[in-house]
Chain A
Amino acid sequence: MRYVSVKSTLIFYFCGVNLRERQVFFKQLVLKNNNDFMKKIRHLILGLLILLPFAMSAQTVIKGKVLDRATGSELPGVSVYQKGTTTGTATDFDGVFELSVDNANALLVFSFVGYNTIEMAASPNMTVNLDESAESLEEVILIGYGQTTKKDATGAVEKVGSEDFNPGAIASPEQLITGKSAGVNVIPPSGRPGEGGAIKIRGGVSSLSASNSPLIVIDGVPVDQDGPALNTINPNDIESFNILKDASATAIYGSRASNGVILITTKSGKMHQDFAVSFDSKFSWGEAENKVNLLNRDQFIREINNLGVPDASALITPYETNWQDHIYQTAFGTDNNVSISEGYENTAYRISAGYLLQEGVLKTSEYNRKTLALNLRQNLFDNSLKMDFNIRASFAQDEFANEGAIGSSVSMDPTKPIFSGNSQYNGYWEWLNNDGSPNNLSPRNPLGLLDAFNSHAGTNRYIGNAKFDYAFWFLDGLSIVANFGFDYSEVDGYNSTDAASASGFYTGGSNGVYDSMRRNTLADIYLNYAQTFNDVHRFDVMLGQSFQDFYRENSSFNQDGNGTITESEWASTNALLSYMFRANYGYDNRYLLTFTFRRDGSSRFSEDNRWGNFYSGALAWNIAEEAFLENSETLSTLKLRLGYGETGQQEIGSDFGYLPVYMVGQDNVRYPFGNSYFNTLRPSGYDANIKWEEAATYNIGLDYGFFEDRIFGSIEYFMTESTDILNTVSPPAGSNLSNSLFTNIGDLEKQGVEFTLNGDIIQSENFRWNLNFNATWLENEIMKLNTVDDPNSPGLATGGISGGVGNTIQTQKVGYPQNSFLVYQQVYDTAGDPIEGVYVDTNEDGVLTDADKRIYNSPNPDWLLGLSSYMDYKNWDLSFTMRASIGNYAYNNVASANGNQDNLYDLGTIRNAHASILDTNFRNPQYWSDYYIQDASFLKMDNITLGYNFENIKNGDVRLRLYSTFQNVFTVTDYDGLDPEINGGIDNNFYPRPQTLLFGFNVNF
């Protein structure tokens, strides 16, 4: 064992030293350095990792400078290390480095993101020039069970790296890429703290069912599409998103790929990297800027008096309360993250910890999350075995508010005080019956609701994987990869309603607990063979198998003050077994060919329908590499891609939807025969023939780049034909055991165009400006419905609304986009106001019936636009993200349910109304008037950030950045409701998205 001294850089070094020697050595080292705190931490980390021997060396000091060959400017942060060792450093802000090497002729390796790595013999005061690499082209992108470069990709795959992420108070990872990628619509969550947004790739319309989310794969582990939410992953640990959009790219994920696939790579340690610490802290304050447009006190009193009902007018009292002002608060938030990382010759690690606290703008709601992530990479046997271990833990705590308060704050009488002046019902003013009990049919005092409700839940999630990549010695290019992953989460929740409150009065309060557990385990094994023959024939072949097993369970127990107990317990499981094959062939970097095949078996289908085969093929032609364009000064990239692929959907809502299963009734629904009570047995509805939803996608794309890719982008056209789409429908009466069945219902077609343009508009020494623009056009149409193909049929009702019971506003109908609104056509008077109950008799049969409702627009946008700008001037930087959606309509359910006189005075109480009543003067609710279907197109500025970088702290060893972000800056829209961006298009008591001001800093040393 070579042992020099214990004073300089530690080196992980794998040679034939036995474990005992290593341990003894390690102990010595720890003892000798116990007065040095920093080193102690490092040693502790080393101890946590694999205990390995190390050797020391420290003799000659080499100084030098690294420059950009093209511009001559100094390059800071370039990694420099001695080849064959782990002695390394990085250049400072002047591009200067100083490195101790063990001999004066050592070979040094210089590497830097975006530049070609070079090796150079050490010499005193050396100057090194680095060449910029064709960064966007050589960039590695993940394609599932392997990787490729942008240049060699044949499918529509887009990578969004951390440099493009949205800044701001972000609790859930998907918000990092809102507006950043064409065809990817991330609908931001409501203002509920910690909530994640909805992701829709290319409209995500495959199955008509509520969840059309893409498959999310974290470090190779596909997460359960059935939850838990993505917000348990700390966004700060994410390095990049690779978005697979077209089927030629997603087909390798077969039966789960119809809605696209997002591969998330988390940050990891890098080999040959100095010990680095990064600390990031943010503080934010958010306000609910928009409120529902209600009658103010004077308008309200006028409307009540206009009713001409003395009993109603008598209920007005001389107080004034704007309830919406009282339920919302300034929401404070903070997000703090620290990470340390270090890389040696064969070992690298990264450890990070985070703490996030986010109050909700609705009082009493709060979310906090502690996260811990550990990554360890270890190369063995001369780098032929690469191991990558990830484990991340997150502990989230939700405090839920009673969101019924949002609805109550809309309808609560504005002439009532908050407090009654006596102690009954915790002092809150409530509508009471003559006997003093709360009026059960009136709105509750929203503050009383918030106060009486206590609900919290803790979510612990552990997700990890171990990946082994072994390159065989006997055949260059052949390797085997094994990836084992798990995702375990548990939720522990509690809720109670105060018995002394008005909302708890009739039940005597209640107490409930619930918990759930989700577990999935994954084993992937695949062989990879990549080789180039005769310099022109490049092959890349993958053959593999994957097995993933899912288990889920829920249970709940609730007891109210009257002793009524509600209990439930549920558990289920499913599994997926897959074989996959992919072959890439490239000829001379000009012609690229990809073929993939996946065979998926899902336990969710009967043996007859269990297996599905999913094929795809793609062709790409690098036109810019052809002789006639090779020397073009302007055109740097031109690639034409053609792809076809088949994908499926196996999220059918039930694990045993093909089986007749029976459910035992609980004790409180037993039935008496004679003197004994029998627990009942109920068969569930099922469809023995339920099968995969299948989608065939055609894609044509063109990648382009000008002026060495200073301007680059792509344009894509795609068309998807989905067959046997899945949805919950009402089967014809008598045909099944339930009136609600999840089954294959028909065919759907969608098409779209995506356009991306990236440009470094200005690139001077002091000022840089980069713009990224993306646009998406989308269209979808239902082609066939198995049971309601009749053109006169109103279709399959969907889109439940508030108002009445079980009422719907949308439909799925052949020849129309999914979730189209089905409404009456309102008739207007000469003043332009709607006439109550007067609608167009569209079928001209002389009577107004349901048959006169017609399809009128849909919540699906025609166009989605995104614009990101980044500029820096010296040490200042300024960036913003803007987004637009055009052609999407929303149903203003708040107005339709609350904007009428019938609502003003009801059941002996008076209630506030939506301000639309001033225009409509509706006496009764007109739920199905197209007056309430409003154009919800919008332009939003999601965030704007100003930052300043300090570079000269401690000679550039410490880097500090201060920044401030303003989120949800403005919204331009014609829509009358709270927010035009409502997932699903039905706007009803939406938890408002806050406008947030954030200050943050980031230190690296």
Chain B
Amino acid sequence: MKVFNKQFRLSLSMITVMLGLVFASCESELDKEPITQLTEAQVFEDPAAYKQFLARIYAGIAVSGQQGPAGQPDISGIDEGFSNYLRQYWKHQELTTDEAIIAWKDGTIHDLHNHVWTPSNEFVRAMYDRIYFQVGLINQFLRETTPEKLDGRGVDATLKAEIEVYRAEARFMRAWSYWHAIDLYGNIPFVTEADPVGNFFPKQGSRTEVFQFIESELIAIEPILVAPRQNEFGRADKGACWMLLGKLYLNAEVYTG
């Protein structure tokens, strides 16, 4: 049965071809890559990236962001200049005693001195966020430097051996921050590189549990770390590890109840 005449059928096939071209999938256009930021794959193409990442972990106690003096802050919710790790740690250790006072009114800073801080005090919050920024950063470093990942990226043996030490130093830095956490806050959210990155409630670690974790970590990394005073300036060695173990044991009764 001839429903359509020849001309019609011709045009119909023309349109079909045209539509085929027009609607041809350009779905691959949706596979965009970052331009000024680097993806995981792009970053670790460069073997130097591992040391740069390690540098960020150490810098985490000194700098406030990626831009300096301000900009691209690590944590938000507080003035970036106030947000520095050591500044926060010093404030919590000193302003709560009679050794130091900040007289002007940076928000609720007087609450530390007056011993009336609450969970909504932005400094108490910023210290907490700083600690977990470090922990998150280090967990990510440990996730990205597993032997499987390194092999997958074709990292050579020399660098792999170096990264082994980096990993130990990163774990030292995590133990150090977790020690601040149990010292300042008690029972705390407890996450390691085994946890995913997302938006979930981590399980709570009691002071005792985290104490045991810190202790076991320090004991585990001690043989891997560089001998005292033999490492580059700015990096942890066995001596630092002993220091932290010592500080931990000094207050062990408080932490383990």
Is A bound to B? yes
Interface residues, chain A, CB within 8 Å of chain B? 441, 472-475, 480, 525, 527, 545, 547, 549, 553, 564, 566, 568-575, 577, 579, 601-603, 610, 655-656, 659-666, 668-675, 678-689, 729-741, 743, 786-787, 804-807, 849-850, 907
Residues of A within 8 A of B53 (CB): 680-681
**B residues 63-117 in Cβ contact with A at 8 Å:** 63, 65-72, 74-79, 82, 104-108
A665-B38 Cα distance, complex, nearest whole Å: 12
Contact A680 B118 (CB under 8 A): no
6 shortest A-B CB distances, which residue pairs? Answer: A804-B107, A680-B56, A674-B232, A678-B55, A805-B107, A671-B59
A807-B59 Cα distance, complex, nearest whole Å: 27
Given contacts A735-B199, A738-B75, A738-B133, contact A673 B234 (CB under 8 A): yes
**Contact of A673 (CB < 8 Å), options: B104, B105, B235:** B235
Contact B29 A575 (CB under 8 A): yes
Closest B residue to A800 using CB positions: B77
Residues of B within 8 A of A681 (CB): 38, 43, 49, 52-53, 55-56
Q: How far is the CB of A226 from chain B (nearest CB, A)?
A: 15
Contact A686 B197 (CB under 8 A): yes
**Contact of A739 (CB < 8 Å), options: B15, B129, B195:** B129
A850-B119 Cα distance, complex, nearest whole Å: 8
Known: A656-B32, A680-B53, A685-B197. 4 other contacts (CB 8 A): A572-B36, A734-B190, A736-B199, A850-B119
Contact A807 B122 (CB under 8 A): yes
**Contact of A656 (CB < 8 Å), options: B37, B79, B120, B202:** B37
Residues of B within 8 A of A577 (CB): 26-27, 29-30
Contact B129 A571 (CB under 8 A): no
**Contact of A441 (CB < 8 Å), options: B62, B104, B197:** B104
A733-B198 Cα distance, complex, nearest whole Å: 11
Q: How far is the CB of A875 from chain B (nearest CB, A)?
A: 54
Residues of A within 8 A of B66 (CB): 663-666, 669, 680, 682
Contact B8 A806 (CB under 8 A): no
Contact B233 A682 (CB under 8 A): no
Contact B197 A682 (CB under 8 A): no
Which of A662, A732, A737 has the most chain B CB within a 10 Å cutoff?
Answer: A662
Contact A668 B69 (CB under 8 A): yes
Residues of B within 8 A of A678 (CB): 51-52, 55
Contact B36 A740 (CB under 8 A): no
**Contact of A668 (CB < 8 Å), options: B8, B30, B68:** B68
Q: How far is the CB of A171 from chain B (nearest CB, A)?
A: 31
Given contacts A566-B69, A739-B129, A807-B122, contact A687 B198 (CB under 8 A): yes
A685-B137 Cα distance, complex, nearest whole Å: 10
**B residues 149-197 in Cβ contact with A at 8 Å:** 188-191, 195, 197
Given contacts A566-B67, A739-B132, contact A850 B120 (CB under 8 A): yes
* 16 contacts across the A-B interface (CB closer than 8 A): A472-B15, A568-B72, A569-B36, A573-B35, A661-B40, A669-B63, A671-B56, A671-B58, A671-B63, A689-B198, A732-B199, A736-B197, A738-B76, A739-B132, A741-B199, A787-B200
Given contacts A805-B78, A807-B107, contact A736 B136 (CB under 8 A): yes
Residues of A within 8 A of B232 (CB): 673-674
Interface residues, chain B, CB within 8 Å of chain A? 7-8, 11-12, 15, 19, 22-23, 26-27, 29-32, 34-40, 43, 49, 51-53, 55-56, 58-59, 62-63, 65-72, 74-79, 82, 104-108, 118-120, 122, 125-126, 128-129, 131-133, 135-137, 140, 188-191, 195, 197-202, 232-235
Q: How far is the CB of A899 from chain B (nearest CB, A)?
A: 16
Given contacts A656-B37, A687-B198, contact A663 B52 (CB under 8 A): no
Contact A661 B38 (CB under 8 A): yes
A571-B35 Cα distance, complex, nearest whole Å: 6
Closest A residue to B62 using CB positions: A671
Residues of B within 8 A of A474 (CB): 7-8, 11-12
Contact B65 A669 (CB under 8 A): yes
Q: How far is the CB of A495 from chain B (nearest CB, A)?
A: 16
Contact A688 B11 (CB under 8 A): no
Residues of A within 8 A of B70 (CB): 566
Closest B residue to A475 using CB positions: B8
Q: How far is the CB of B221 from chain A (nearest CB, A)?
A: 18
Residues of B within 8 A of A472 (CB): 11, 15
Residues of A within 8 A of B129 (CB): 730, 733, 739
A435-B191 Cα distance, complex, nearest whole Å: 52
**Contact of B189 (CB < 8 Å), options: A475, A601, A733, A804:** A733
A178-B163 Cα distance, complex, nearest whole Å: 62
**Contact of B77 (CB < 8 Å), options: A569, A670, A740:** A740
Contact B39 A663 (CB under 8 A): no
Closest B residue to A656 using CB positions: B34
Given contacts A787-B199, A805-B107, contact A680 B59 (CB under 8 A): yes
Contact A669 B59 (CB under 8 A): yes
Residues of A within 8 A of B56 (CB): 665, 671, 680-682
Residues of A within 8 A of B52 (CB): 664, 678-681
Contact A662 B38 (CB under 8 A): yes
Contact B234 A575 (CB under 8 A): no
Contact B78 A736 (CB under 8 A): no
**Contact of A683 (CB < 8 Å), options: B62, B137, B233:** B137
A711-B115 Cα distance, complex, nearest whole Å: 69
Contact B137 A547 (CB under 8 A): no
A642-B136 Cα distance, complex, nearest whole Å: 50
Closest B residue to A786 using CB positions: B199
A686-B37 Cα distance, complex, nearest whole Å: 13
Residues of B within 8 A of A739 (CB): 75-77, 129, 132-133
Contact A806 B107 (CB under 8 A): yes
Contact B29 A549 (CB under 8 A): yes
Q: How far is the CB of B137 from chain A (nearest CB, A)?
A: 7
Contact A603 B11 (CB under 8 A): no
Contact A687 B199 (CB under 8 A): yes
**Contact of A655 (CB < 8 Å), options: B34, B74, B118, B122:** B34
A666-B73 Cα distance, complex, nearest whole Å: 12
Contact A733 B34 (CB under 8 A): no
Which of A603, A731, A806 has the most chain B CB within a 10 Å cutoff?
Answer: A806
Q: How far is the CB of B82 from chain A (nearest CB, A)?
A: 6
Closest A residue to B61 using CB positions: A671
Closest B residue to A602 using CB positions: B30
Given contacts A549-B29, A671-B55, A683-B140, contact A659 B198 (CB under 8 A): no
Given contacts A549-B29, A660-B40, A806-B77, contact A688 B197 (CB under 8 A): yes
Contact A547 B26 (CB under 8 A): yes
Q: How far is the CB of A179 from chain B (nearest CB, A)?
A: 37
Residues of A within 8 A of B200 (CB): 731-732, 735, 787
Q: How far is the CB of B182 from chain A (nearest CB, A)?
A: 14
Residues of A within 8 A of B133 (CB): 737-739
Residues of B within 8 A of A575 (CB): 29-30, 32
Residues of A within 8 A of B22 (CB): 525, 545
Contact A661 B34 (CB under 8 A): yes
Contact B37 A661 (CB under 8 A): yes
Contact B108 A804 (CB under 8 A): yes
Q: How far is the CB of B194 from chain A (nearest CB, A)?
A: 12
Contact A610 B30 (CB under 8 A): yes
A907-B49 Cα distance, complex, nearest whole Å: 48
Given contacts A549-B29, A739-B77, contact A680 B55 (CB under 8 A): yes
Q: How far is the CB of B183 from chain A (nearest CB, A)?
A: 16
Residues of B within 8 A of A741 (CB): 199
A672-B201 Cα distance, complex, nearest whole Å: 35
Contact B191 A734 (CB under 8 A): yes
A614-B46 Cα distance, complex, nearest whole Å: 42
**Contact of B74 (CB < 8 Å), options: A573, A662, A738:** A738
Q: How far is the CB of A233 from chain B (nearest CB, A)?
A: 28
Residues of B within 8 A of A850 (CB): 118-120
Residues of B within 8 A of A574 (CB): 32
A602-B135 Cα distance, complex, nearest whole Å: 32
Q: How far is the CB of A263 from chain B (nearest CB, A)?
A: 23
Residues of B within 8 A of A571 (CB): 35-36
Which of B15, B62, B106 has the most chain A CB within a 10 Å cutoff?
Answer: B15
